[in-house]
């Protein structure tokens, strides 16, 4: 059974009367998350007409005055990525033309983040292209969560706030009172993320899975660097896509003697055949957040979804009040 949890992140819940210039709108990608953020802020989502024409073109109309307002647009660019990205660009353009004072694109999941550099000749750096599109559409600022590559922040020539889902995941893990934890990075590239995670779990030991990738979405796991025998292994990643890497890692951890294996990730991309792989019993629990909506058909017994709405809502309020965002994670 899927369990949901909304974990408190901060204490500065804003009074409604101070929201006179704050406006929050949602694209179609994750309306439930946007509604939760609105509840945290003590306000309603702004009224907006959103529809498609017969040829697939997207139409957006803001249905209240936003002249001189600080507008926040909640839209993860998850599957279908191109549709949700285009919808975000149109929302930004509509707000710019309606004379909004500041437009912040709130992107809980940043699509195309893995195309952040050239790995072969004649490739596009699509993460940079998306940054250019969002900036040129008229966004004043971007708020995103757990980028696949932190360097993407540098692709933007506008202010960028990067927040992390780890406080929500960590609070949940701590509440489970697990013993003999070892935090495992599924690849060398995720070591910094796993090390930061382990530090917050009372400096838990760290292990690394050495992996050789042969093609896109295909990974071959080789060996484990570190001691996992008899321990509770917590695999930590920013996202679970097809689940090939994390499942091969779990099998290897079991083979090396891990007593229990948990998977933690901020973004539940869950491209086929992820659900089939994750629900085979390899994991005691697969813990993700709701940055991306997971349809009921893609939910399974071991899945736990946690809400990042409070964290996003607190970040939005701090940006609106010109307060520190980084202090939330210290």
Say which CATH number the domain at 185 has: 3.40.50.2020
Same domain? 229 vs 294: yes
Same domain? 45 vs 153: yes
Distance (Å, whole) CA 155 – CA 142: 11
Same domain? 159 vs 12: yes
What per-residue confidence (pLDDT) applies to 11?
Answer: 47
Same domain? 30 vs 138: yes
Q: Is position 272 within any domain?
A: yes
What per-residue confidence (pLDDT) applies to 188?
Answer: 86
Q: Is position 208 within any domain?
A: yes
Distance (Å, whole) CA 82 – CA 95: 20
Which residues of 169-254 form beta strands (DSSP E)?
A: 181-185, 206-215, 218-225, 232-240
Q: Helices 191-200 and 166-176 sit at what angle, rounded to 10 degrees?
A: 50
Dihedral over Cα of 128, 131, 132, 133: its sign: positive
Q: Is position 2 within any domain?
A: no
| Token pair of 5 as six digits | 């949890």
What per-residue confidence (pLDDT) applies to 222?
Answer: 74
Q: Cis peptide before 80, with omega less than 30 degrees from 0?
A: yes
Distance (Å, whole) CA 316 – CA 26: 14
Same domain? 13 vs 130: yes
Q: Is position 244 within any domain?
A: yes
Q: What pTM value is reported for the model?
A: 0.92
Which residues of the chain form beta strands (DSSP E)?
A: 3-6, 22-26, 48-52, 58-62, 70-74, 102-107, 141-145, 160-163, 181-185, 206-215, 218-225, 232-240, 260-268, 285-289, 303-307
Q: Radius of gyration of the chain from Cα atoms?
A: 20
What per-residue confidence (pLDDT) applies to 165?
Answer: 96
Distance of CA 43 to the CA centre of its chain: 23
Q: How many CB atoms lie within 10 A of CB 30?
A: 22
User: Would you say 46 and 55 are in contact if contact means Cβ atoms under 8 Å apart?
Assistant: no
Distance (Å, whole) CA 262 – CA 283: 5
What per-residue confidence (pLDDT) applies to 210?
Answer: 87
- Using CB atoms within 10 Å of the CB of residue 276, give its burial: 0 to 12 exposed, 13 to 18 middle, 19+ buried: exposed
Same domain? 183 vs 63: no
Active site residues: 211
What per-residue confidence (pLDDT) applies to 213?
Answer: 61
Distance of CA 202 to the CA centre of its chain: 24
User: Would you say 167 and 161 are in contact if contact means Cβ atoms under 8 Å apart?
Assistant: no
Same domain? 232 vs 266: yes
Nearest CA-CA partner of 64 in 90, 33, 98: 98
Q: Is position 65 within any domain?
A: yes
Distance (Å, whole) CA 211 – CA 223: 7
| Tokens 């896109």 -> residue | 216
Which residue segment(s) compose the domain that 140 sits in?
7-164+310-329
Q: Is position 102 within any domain?
A: yes
Same domain? 187 vs 238: yes
Q: What is the full per-residue pLDDT of the chain (330 aa) written as tens digits?
A: 556 555 555 445 554 445 689 999 999 999 999 999 999 999 999 999 999 999 999 999 999 999 999 999 999 999 999 999 999 999 999 999 999 999 999 999 999 999 999 999 999 999 999 999 999 999 999 999 999 999 999 999 999 999 999 999 999 999 999 999 999 999 888 999 999 999 999 999 999 998 766 666 665 657 899 999 999 999 999 999 999 989 999 999 999 999 999 999 999 999 999 999 999 999 999 999 999 999 999 999 999 999 999 999 999 999 999 999 999 887
Same domain? 94 vs 223: no
User: Would you say 327 and 144 are in contact if contact means Cβ atoms under 8 Å apart?
Assistant: no
Show the CA angle centred on residue 217, arms to residues 212 and 223, nearest 5°. 25
Same domain? 30 vs 92: yes
Q: Is position 106 within any domain?
A: yes
Number of domain units in the chain: 2
Same domain? 54 vs 170: no
Same domain? 144 vs 269: no
Q: Is position 1 within any domain?
A: no
């Amino acid at each position: 059974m899927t369990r949901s949890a909304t974990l408190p992140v901060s204490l500065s819940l804003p009074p409604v009367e101070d929201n006179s210039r704050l406006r929050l709108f949602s694209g179609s990608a994750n309306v439930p998350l946007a509604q939760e953020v609105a509840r945290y802020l003590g306000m309603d989502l702004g009224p907006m007409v959103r529809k498609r024409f017969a040829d697939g073109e997207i139409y957006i109309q803001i249905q209240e005055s936003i002249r001189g307002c600080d507008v926040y647009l909640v839209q993860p660019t998850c599957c279908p990525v191109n549709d949700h990205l285009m919808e975000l660009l149109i929302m930004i353009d509509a707000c710019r033309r309606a004379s909004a004072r500041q437009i912040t694109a709130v992107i809980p999941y940043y699509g195309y983040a893995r195309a952040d550099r050239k790995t072969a000749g004649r490739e596009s750096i699509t993460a940079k292209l998306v940054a250019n599109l969002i900036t040129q559409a008229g966004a004043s600022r971007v708020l995103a969560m757990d980028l696949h590559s932190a360097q993407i922040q540098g692709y933007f020539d506008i202010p960028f706030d990067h927040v992390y889902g780890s406080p929500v995941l960590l609070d949940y893990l701590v509440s489970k009172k697990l013993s003999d934890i070892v935090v495992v990075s599924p690849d060398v590239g995720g070591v910094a993320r796993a090390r930061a995670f382990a530090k917050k779990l009372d400096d838990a030991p760290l292990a690394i899975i050495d992996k050789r990738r042969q093609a896109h979405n295909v990974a071959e796991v080789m060996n484990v660097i570190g001691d996992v025998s008899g321990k509770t292994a917590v695999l930590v990643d920013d996202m679970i896509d097809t689940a090939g890497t994390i499942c091969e890692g779990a099998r290897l951890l079991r083979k090396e003697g891990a007593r229990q294996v948990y998977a933690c990730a901020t973004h539940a991309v869950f491209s086929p055949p992820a659900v089939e792989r994750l629900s085979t019993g390899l994991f005691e629990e697969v813990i993700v957040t709701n940055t991306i909506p997971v349809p009921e058909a893609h939910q399974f017994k071991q899945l736990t979804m946690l809400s990042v709405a409070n964290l996003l809502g607190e970040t939005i309020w701090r940006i609106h009040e010109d307060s520190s965002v980084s202090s939330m994670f210290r």
